[in-house]
Structure 1
Amino acid sequence: MASPTSPIVWDWPDPFIHEVQVEPRHIDDFQHTNNVVYLSWMAKTAWEHSKALGIDFAYYKRLNRGMVVRRHELEYLAASYEGQRVLVATWITGNDGRLRLRRRFQMVNAETGQTLLRGLTDFVCIDIESGRATRMPPQFIVAYRPTARVEGD
């Protein structure tokens, strides 16, 4: 990855980073990346981070437990355009060790270092077979421990 012309200032240290390329299919009528694409990048980055932590869907199925989205919050700060590279960073900022997990996200233009979006996703642990909220298994408590401290998360 080429160095950005401006240094990247991450909201918290040591993010997990997933790089994406803005493709023609991501562009809307305004000629910039459609807002729902950012949400899909957040979801993909969360999964990539989860897999890097050793938890994929096969692991979820073995435990009959999974983390599912309860709520998203996105703040769009600047547009991205076809051909640009976007760095999608995530941190786990909350895990109550029972039901809830929070991730925060920051998307940055890889060339300029400009922050494009800040967001968060709240997850809840479910029993996959019943779909009902259930206590997190010990494996999730350990693997999904917070990677950044955010007051209130």
Structure 2
Amino acid sequence: MSTLIFKADLLTRQADAEHRPDLWPCPSPFVASLTVGPEHMDEFGHTNNTVYLVWMQAVAALHSKHLGLTFDDFVALGSGCVARHHDIHYKRPSFAGDTLWVATWISRNEGKTDMLRQYHFVRASDLATIATGSTQWVCIDMNTGRPKRQPPEFLSAYRVTSINNPDADTAADTQ
């Protein structure tokens, strides 16, 4: 079920790219790779902007799985994460055939109802930053859909990796 919703199968972990301080604005992000396909192109001949949002959600799901939490775990815990706010900054276009590395990390989690996850897209061939972004995720009760305090399993898994926020001037509100 989680593959259909979160499309984590679109990406593959790229562990060798994780330890590249020259690429990432944080010391040890989770990095996955993907290949841009013709189905991702728009009328302008580059990756459509909405596709990046799908990839952000996919790398978040893959990272969550790596940390030990899948959608099935959300159901069992009765707690899940939904997006309150997405923010994407497009720096350069990407094209069919490009391999992109997508880094993600948790930059804020005070243990309440929400957390902030950062993303950084780099084209593998020239190491150019393609896009950066963030998502404010909110913990909800899976039965009611209402926000709730994160359970201990979330606090253990979703620890802050770096407070560095490359787009701090326009990042999600921290309410």
TM-score, scaled to structure 1: 0.93
1:138 to 117, 141, 152: 152
Q: In structure 1, what is the Cα distance between the partners aligned to 2:97 and 2:164?
A: 33
Q: CA RMSD in A?
A: 1.9
Unaligned runs of 5+ in 1: none
In the TM superposition, residue 8 of structure 1 has moved relative to its aligned partner by: 5.0
Q: Which of the two has greater helix per residue?
A: 2
Given that residues 25 and 164 in structure 2 are in contact (C-alpha distance below 8 angstroms), is that contact kept between their aligned partners in structure 1?
no
2:133 to 106, 119, 123: 119
- The residue identity in structure 1 corresponding to 2:100 is V
What is the aligned partner in structure 2 of residue 62 from structure 1? 76
Given that residues 8 and 113 in structure 1 are in contact (C-alpha distance below 8 angstroms), is that contact kept between their aligned partners in structure 2?
no
What is the aligned partner in structure 2 of residue 32 from structure 1? 46
Q: In structure 2, what is the Cα distance between the partners aligned to 1:22 and 1:79?
A: 11
1:13-52 paired onto structure 2 within 5 Å: 13-52=27-66
SS at match of 1:37: helix
Q: Deviations over 1:56-89 (max 9, x none)?
A: 0110001100111000000000000010000010
Q: In structure 2, what is the Cα distance between the partners aligned to 1:21 and 1:150?
A: 27
Q: In structure 2, what is the Cα distance between the partners aligned to 1:102 and 1:25?
A: 30
Identical positions, percent: 41
Q: In structure 2, what is the Cα distance between the partners aligned to 1:139 and 1:108?
A: 31
SS at match of 2:148: coil
In the TM superposition, residue 96 of structure 1 has moved relative to its aligned partner by: 1.3
In the TM superposition, residue 150 of structure 1 has moved relative to its aligned partner by: 3.0
Given that residues 101 and 124 in structure 1 are in contact (C-alpha distance below 8 angstroms), is that contact kept between their aligned partners in structure 2?
yes
Q: In structure 1, what is the Cα distance between the partners aligned to 2:66 and 2:24?
A: 20
In the TM superposition, residue 38 of structure 1 has moved relative to its aligned partner by: 0.7
Higher relative contact order (CA 8 A, sep 6+): 1
Number of residue-to-residue matches in the alignment: 150
In the TM superposition, residue 113 of structure 1 has moved relative to its aligned partner by: 0.3
Unaligned runs of 5+ in 2: 1-13, 169-173
TM-score, scaled to structure 2: 0.81
